[in-house]
Structure 1
């Protein structure tokens, strides 16, 4: 069995070693560990491998809390202490900025921490009816596989939802067409919603079973017979909206189970606080919130006294943002528009009117069209919230080297503990 000394972790949380001139990526290994490994993919310059045995363990090694860790593909870093996980994510961010953007960060912000377990308030839980594996399986995909892991609990789901997985498995097996239910959408706000994607209409018996399950376990049962817009409660008298709060800003935001919201409520609140500290909205200022969603950052900006212009590609989310502004008495300080920001131009940005500051919160693809479209009239301060260090670094390179901005600081938020996902925030100011 080959042996390696692990030197570092890569952006996916794998141990990196060099053996006989080749780079070896060892899943489950930590820096400074001596390990035996087994390669499952070999190329001329690198190999991907599984950990076979730890010969010398790191002081940062932790015992995984989940008994399905290594089988389920949802988590990849439970074997590392939380502090080591966050330090790795900070290094991934710094390496991307140095290597791709070639910028010097003015300040490294303290990492934003939150609860390590039971944090996930949104999840898409897979369902498969496989008689050879005992009937219906409910859970996340297996590691490196499209199969559903045979699991009875999940440590990153809220405890109440985790405890429901076996009962949910029994429930779905009792329905008229369990093989036509591919997933269950979990959404939590002021209540817990389980929305079943049903490719065939539910029968009256199905609906009775689902409602009885919801009543017994204190959850709301919904169905989604078509696209995301078709999601609806099975109880006719139930509100079609959930709600989450931002107490620091005295805000209530309504959403539908299939709307995009952050999965980690605690980290979202702390991230908004950090963003508002960096953006520093002031009465009389006009601030753009690009990729604004349902108003997660827009409404705190308006609450602090500035005029906000929110822009988003989804008509449904723009309508939701406007409704949330009205719900919180902020319609006079906010305006929301539908636009494809991946096709942004200098003309489309100037059409938003004069802007003092800007917040950008794009998906993984980043905001390259937006930053390329900035000109001499662009905002003096930009706060960029990112879920992909590589695209943040690419866009930072344009802002710094082409658009005259300085990167004042950057840091990570541990939005997804025990995974390699890196959420970060950065501040740019025009020189």
Structure 2
């Protein structure tokens, strides 16, 4: 867990399932695992009721564990022996996964069957909605699932030259450590990228700048594998030549990052374009390797289609896409609605989204042609009712915020609703809001069930909406990351 308060919250009766009173007594020191927490740790209780979080244990198992941290009402431990194994336990596909010293910390759930992982994440979503937002979805959506391996098209790989070994390490950090795991393959990276880990180690080790290149960022498009080399000093001509030779041999595209993200540029101009497609809509999305795009393109294609079906934008409707980024949802929406407004906090992404719109507007493969679409840069974490009204009424919203959620946005919506209802203590309705109407339907795509639950509570209890559906999106198999989608309808409206 991230801190003491999180652990204390999980020890509450609402967050954990107690052992059955009818369960037989266990030998001293053995523990019966009843549940899994959001960090993929098994949850057990001692006979006195004290909660034990056990890394590596699964629900239904009887285990022994070594305690490495104690508090008044909980303990943190690591699995040492399994006396009764879960039927959902599987053999991890990656040799670098596990509880051993030096194990990679990139995945936490490879020992659990992928279908069971999805079930755990669905439970996390439902529990967060109820315990944090006091909201229950009227319908549970079927989980969105895809390939369990080779799915990670975006990754940030740490790089370090180790003097005492005289070699370079490249990969994710070790479990609970700042050190880099000694990885020679990675099962969640695409196979062609996993096969590059050892050659990349040799490449960096041969460079003059081997001690001043701390990171390689991976960004795969449909036809291009881009590698962004972070370097803290200018590269020599010999190093640039080494990078070019590697690119030719391994069919990759090098980008260089001498300073911040804005400094990223191609090693050599020209070459194929880094882009991904949304074939159902005929959309092509060029992007820079440091732009935000979804880690899992297989799931992203399904997610875009699912979100648009749930939103069901009609040819006569105006739609707002909040936190629109590159236009991942905006451009497909523009094939369905009368008018679309995309709003994003990053001016650079707004510019990229506008460029993508203009490019796809000229693409005869986009059917039907894109409707009137506008992009605006605005700080969405400082939204007010007045700002919300100024953007005009929309029939429907799509909301896709970062982990922080969309609190300011939904709070502004709730305040307008409370003002219109004349609720006690509510501010007067702004004059400009007299003719403004809230959206009939909101589809909220979330990468953090806690902030989704918080925002859902506002929408349902203060903004006049029902949560008609919710479900998980397994964007990150084998990790504890929970992505989800939820649908909200105005309470007076029918589904």
Q: TM-score, normalised by structure 2?
A: 0.85
Match of 2:59 among 31, 52, 57: 31
Structure 2: distance between partners of 1:66 and 1:220 = 27
1:277 is paired with a residue of what secondary structure?
Answer: helix
Map of 1:335 onto structure 2: 374
The alpha-carbon distance between structure 1 residues 134 and 151, as it changes in their structure 2 partners (threshold 3 A), is farther
Structure 1 counterpart of 2:177: 145
CA–CA distance in 2 between the matches of 1:104 and 1:365?
21
Give the whole-Å Cα distance in 2 for the aligned partners of 1:63 and 1:2: 26
**How far 1:237 moved relative to its partner?**
2.7
In the TM superposition, residue 331 of structure 1 has moved relative to its aligned partner by 6.7
1:110-149, Cα deviation, whole Å (9 max, x unpaired): 0001000000001000001112244211000011111100
**Residue 346 (1) aligns with residue 406 (2):** no
Which of the numbers 242, 245, 251 marks the counterpart of 1:209? 242
Instruction: State the number of aligned residues.
Output: 430
1:9 aligned residue (33, 36, 51): 36
Distance 1:305 1:378, change over 3 A: closer
SS of alignment partner, residue 292 of structure 2 = coil
The residue matched to 2:319 in structure 1 has which SS? strand
Q: Residue 93 of structure 1 is aligned with which of 104, 125, 136?
A: 125
Equivalent position SS for 2:320: strand
Structure 2 residue aligned with 1:262: 294
Tell me the SS of whatever aligns to 1:309. strand
Q: Answer yes or no: is 1:72 the counterpart of 2:104.
A: yes
Match of 1:249, SS state, is coil
User: Quick one: distance in 2 between partners of 1:294 and 1:255?
Assistant: 8
* Conserved 8 A contact 1:23-1:47: yes
- Is the Cα contact below 8 Å between 2:35 and 2:42 reproduced in 1? yes
Q: 1:294 aligns with which of 301, 326, 330?
A: 326
Q: Where do 5+ consecutive residues of structure 2 fail to align?
A: 1-27, 362-368, 418-436
User: How far did 1:410 drift?
Assistant: 0.1
Q: Which runs of 5 or more structure 1 residues have no equivalent in the other structure?
A: none
The correspondence for 1:232, drawn from 251, 265, 274, is 265
Deviates more, 1:329-338 or 1:378-387: 329-338
1:127 matched to 2:166? The reply is no
Distance 1:277 1:236 in 2: 39
- Out of 57, 66, 69, the residue aligned to residue 41 of structure 1 is 69
Q: Secondary structure at the match of 1:179?
A: coil
Q: Is this contact kept in 1: 2:335–2:371, CA < 8 A?
A: no
Q: 1:322–1:331: 8 Å Cα contact kept in structure 2? A: no
Q: Structure 1 residue 238: deviation in Å?
A: 3.3
- What secondary structure is seen at the aligned counterpart in 1 of 2:195? helix
Q: Is the CA contact 2:340–2:371 (under 8 Å) kept in the aligned structure 1? A: no
Q: Which residue of 1 aligns with 2:24?
A: none
Measured in 1, the distance between the counterparts of 2:443 and 2:164 equals 52
Select the residue among 457, 465, 471 that pairs with 1:411. 471
- 1:2–1:38 CA contact under 8 A, matched in 2: no
Q: Report what 2:79 is aligned to.
A: 51
CA–CA distance in 2 between the matches of 1:332 and 1:61? 50
Query: 1:177 — aligned with what?
Result: 209
Q: Of the candidates 197, 203, 211, which is equivalent to residue 230 of structure 2?
A: 197
- C-alpha distance in structure 1 between counterparts of 2:165 and 2:339, whole Å: 57
Q: Which residue of 2 aligns with 1:363?
A: 402
Q: Give 1:332 shift.
A: 5.0
Q: Distance in 1 between matches of 2:119 and 2:404?
A: 24
Write out per-residue CA displacement over residues 283-323 of structure 1, whole angstroms, 9 at most, x where no aligned residue: 12111111100000101100123311111110110001101
Scaled by the length of structure 1, what TM-score is found?
A: 0.98
Alpha-carbon distance in structure 2 between the residues aligned to 1:133 and 1:421: 34
| 2: CA distance, partners of 1:87 / 1:144 | 26
- Structure of greater Rg: 2
Deviations 1:76-97 (A, max 9, x none): 0000000100000000000011
**2:113 — aligned with what?**
81
| Counterpart among 443, 459, 462 of residue 383 in structure 1 | 443
